[in-house]
Amino acid sequence: MGTYQRIHPQVQEGIASRKAYLVGGGIGSLSAAAFLIRDGHMPGRNIHILEQSAVYGGSMDGAGNAKDGYSARGGREIEEHFECFMELFGFIPSLTNPDRTVLDEFRELNLAEPIESHCRLVEKEGTPADFSTLGLSTAHALQLGKLTLATEDRLGAVTIEQFFDPSFLETNFWYFWRSMFAFENWHSVVEVKRYMERFMHLISGMNQLKGILHTEYNQFDSLILPLMKWLEREGVHFDKGHQVTDLELDFSGGEKVVTAIQLLVNGSPKTISTARGDLVMVTNGSMTENSTLGDMDHPAVLNRSVTERGCWSLWEKLAAKSPDFGHPEVFCGDIDKSKWLSFTMTFTDDEIVFPHLLELTGDAPGMGGVVTIKDSSWMMSWTAPKQPHFINQPDNVKVLWAYGLFPDAEGDYIKKKMSDCTGRELLEELCYHMGLKDRIPEILEHTTNVIPCMMPYITSQFMPRVAGDRPQVVPQGSMNLAFLGQFAEVPDDCVFTVEYSVRSAMMAVYNLLALEKEVIPVHPSKYDVRVLLTALRTCLGNKALPLDKTLGELLAGTVISKLI
């Protein structure tokens, strides 16, 4: 979208009397509320965000205190070309300075403290591993090229391990890729294709995480909190304890019109009648639904319920009403292929762990990004975020975060499945791989808490799928219903990102209100010849691109020759 498209839509007749009901309190609904107010001119008092729990922010969470320990289930990676994300936070005021925006401060932070990892991989109990190249052969590079050229329809439900040669899955590229984005070998190769095309401009810096951006604090404190404060000032209703259980729809005349919302308000049944002009936007499916927490002495127990699973249960009821509403079972039907475990560590007066990590990696907290342990049976990675990581975190308290992709595997130091481990045991395994085995007793003396989090659906959005398994943001014939978040279909964009949810919100608002404003297009990396050539050269080990003699002579001394 060029500046010609950055218009202010006119106020629509009757907008002051229309209402919006946003189901789910994650970033998708919060973003939709913001765009409804700014671009749709809907009064904030007409917007209701219906959330089952008492906490908003969805998967972008962060909570705790110095006494009991802090916890964040995870953080979504952000980069410069998250266009809808930047648009949103470009008009949300900073919590500390109302004359500045969240984007202003976010950009200033990343200019001053850019991420550039000096230790991306470790092995052999805390020994830095070679991460200088992607480790791809010419055959591997050709496989990646073949993937980018293939259509999604042709690939269908093919998995990563079905598409790539087994040796590809042992390369540095795959270690970098899977630890950044949490891909498993049995996940959809179509999603890898989307990531390749979406982030092609970052491939040359992938081994050092160049171009990845970070927030001042955890993403709840840095992003969700200021957005919520702005929405509250606008009069938006945050309806906690509101669990939507079903929608009543009228399908006559080929249209789809929500006529009522069925819900439980603090456990009591209630019905909200909706008019044709009212908007209903549903977050269908959640990566962090049914998450469970443990502590220092207790593991996080996997919740396998198939009857009580919040927005998944709602989506299943909706999908039974129309094939246009997608197929949730594709994503939530096998939690053993979509689960993994993260854990957040809180240290008080630590003089061992963080100094050791600085010496090991050469990166100050917040400056190095994720570090992956190549020989971890749990496929563990850790991140030392910028400190303090929480707004209320004292100076003598430090927070570290880690996760493992293989929670059913036995540990290398702790001979138990990761999923069966207490917080103490998870920390001990991590210390072993960091090269701190001999100092575990001392470290434990300064450990306030380790909070494991088991997430049954955390990579469900990557499960193999085909067209139609995710519903369109606004299904065909829908007059007032839209879907938001990671399980709505957003062409060309990547799931497991904040941008995907924010983009779906923008699409829903602009489409249902028929605004004359264009949704910002996905950044077109894959169409930029400079990006393509740089990515190709990187995948070939930064060697000069092979050209035949005639083409080489033709391009000699040209601008193109500088690119290759």
Cα three-residue angle 447-448-451, rounded to 5 degrees: 95
Element (H or E) spanning 66, and its range?
Answer: none
3-state helix, strand, coil in the chain (%, to 5): 35, 20, 45
Look at residue 87 and tell me whether its pLDDT is greater than 70. yes
Q: What is the mean pLDDT of residues 513-537?
A: 92
Pairing of strands 397-404, 340-348: antiparallel
- The CA distance from 247 to 261, in Å, is 5
How high is the mean pLDDT of the chain?
Answer: 95
64-68, 466-470, 535-539: least confident range: 535-539
**Has residue 563 got a pLDDT over 90?**
no
C-alpha 146/C-alpha 141 separation (Å) is 9
The model's confidence at residue 6, banded by pLDDT at 50, 70 and 90, is: confident
Nearest to 463 by CA among 190, 133, 56, 268: 190
What are the tens digits of pLDDT across the range 300-310? Answer: 999 999 889 99
Q: What is the pLDDT of residues 90-133, one digit of tens each?
A: 999 999 999 999 999 999 999 999 999 999 999 999 999 999 99
pLDDT at 297 over 60: yes
Residue-wise pLDDT tens digits, 332-381: 999 999 999 999 999 999 999 999 999 999 999 999 999 999 999 999 99
Q: What angle do CA 435, 210, 79 make, to 5 degrees?
A: 115
Exposed / middle / buried, residue 354 (Cβ in 10 Å: 0-12, 13-18, 19+): middle
Mean pLDDT of 272-277: 98
Structure tokens at 172: 């540095």
Provide CB contacts within 8 A for 332, sequence distance 6+: 285, 309, 312, 338, 457, 460
Task: State the pLDDT confidence band at 424, using cuts at 50, 70 and 90.
Answer: very high
> At residue 557, does pLDDT exceed 70?
no
- 510: annotated active-site residue: no
In angstroms, the CA 192 to CA 160 distance is 8
> Is residue 45 pLDDT above 50, yes or no?
yes
Rounded to whole angstroms, how far apart are CA atoms 269 and 263? 6
Cα gap 179→464, rounded to integer Å: 19
Mean pLDDT for 276-298 is 97
Beta carbons of 464 and 495 less than 8 angstroms apart: no
Residue partners of 276: CB distance under 8 A and separation at least 6: 257, 479, 480
Collapsed DSSP state (helix, strand, coil) of residue 100 = coil
Confidence of residue 551 (pLDDT cuts 50, 70, 90): very low
484 touches 508 (CB < 8 A): yes
**What integer pLDDT is reported at residue 562 of this predicted model?**
61
Output the 3-class SS for 216-282: CCCHHHHHHHHHHHHHHHCCCEEEECEEEEEEEEECHHHCEEEEEEEEEECCEEEEEECCCCCEEEE
DSSP state of 131: -
Question: DSSP letter at 189?
Answer: H
Tens-place pLDDT, residues 161-174:
999 999 999 999 99
Q: How far apart are CA 20 and CA 32, in angstroms?
A: 10
199, pLDDT greater than 90: yes
Query: Does residue 564 carry a pLDDT above 50?
Result: yes
1 pLDDT exceeds 90? no
Summarised one tens digit per residue, pLDDT across range 462-490 is: 999 999 999 999 999 999 999 999 999 99
φ, ψ for residue 157, nearest 5 deg: -95, 20
Radius of gyration of the chain (CA): 24
pLDDT value, residue 530: 87
Among 195, 217, 403, 510, the active-site one is 195
CB 188 within 8 A of CB 218: no
Supply the pLDDT for residue 401: 98
Position 529 scores a pLDDT of 87
CA dist., res. 465 & res. 157, Å (int): 5
Residue ranges of E strands in 466-524? 481-484
In the chain, where the domains are located = 525-563
How high is the pLDDT of residue 556? 63
Overall average pLDDT of the 417-437 stretch:
98
Q: What pLDDT score was predicted for residue 547?
A: 55
How much is the average pLDDT of 256-267? 97
Whether pLDDT at 553 is above 80: no
Strands 257-265 and 340-348: unpaired
Catalytic residue (one of 77, 79, 289, 499): 77
Length of the chain: 564
- Check whether 183 has a pLDDT greater than 70: yes
Read off the pLDDT band of 544 (50, 70, 90): low
Q: Are strands 268-273 and 380-383 parallel, antiparallel or unpaired?
A: unpaired
Q: What is the rounded CA–CA span in Å between residue 155 and residue 177?
A: 20
If you search the block for the tokens 């279909």, which residue do you land on?
489
Q: Per DSSP, which regions of 364-484 are E strands?
A: 370-373, 380-383, 397-404, 447-455, 481-484
Whether 161 is catalytic: no
Distance of CA 392 to the CA centre of its chain: 24
